[in-house]
Amino acid sequence: MADKKNILLVDAAGMSISLLAKKMDDFARVNHLPYGVEGVADSIGPDKIAANHPKVILIAPQVRYLVDKYEKNYGDKIPVALIDMVAYGMMDAGKVLKQAEALDK
């Protein structure tokens, strides 16, 4: 799939979010959805946004305080939302991807 739409997931250190991103990326591939997903630490989020031009930015629930920062810096061009806490805790790739799809309009 050549024209993937990028989804960026952000948390504090990039560790647990990377696992969810991998699951979402696999889910998208298996279900022939046009998304590529990357999970990163907040410290490199701005660089990834500049380089990859994501369609959606999702913030991990444990760093909900980052939503305002990303909304202020990118919200006029890129939808920003908090990942559903239950879906995050269950690592429910399909549910989080559906949340991202709803924002990608």
Can you give the residue ranges of every domain in the chain?
A: 5-103
Helix (H) or strand (E) holding 69: helix 66-74
Q: Would you state the pLDDT for residue 1?
A: 46
Positions of the chain with pLDDT under 50: 1
Q: Does the domain formed by 5-103 have CATH 3.40.50.2300?
A: yes
- pTM: predicted TM-score of the whole model, two decimal places: 0.95
Residue carrying the six token digits 């699951």: 23
Closest CA to 34 of 103, 97, 99: 97
Residue-by-residue DSSP string for 21-47? HHHHHHHHHHTT-SEEEEEEEGGGHHH
CA pair distance 51, 55, nearest whole angstrom: 12
> What is the DSSP code (8-state) at residue 11?
E
Q: Which of 47, 50, 104 is nearest to 96 (CA)?
A: 104
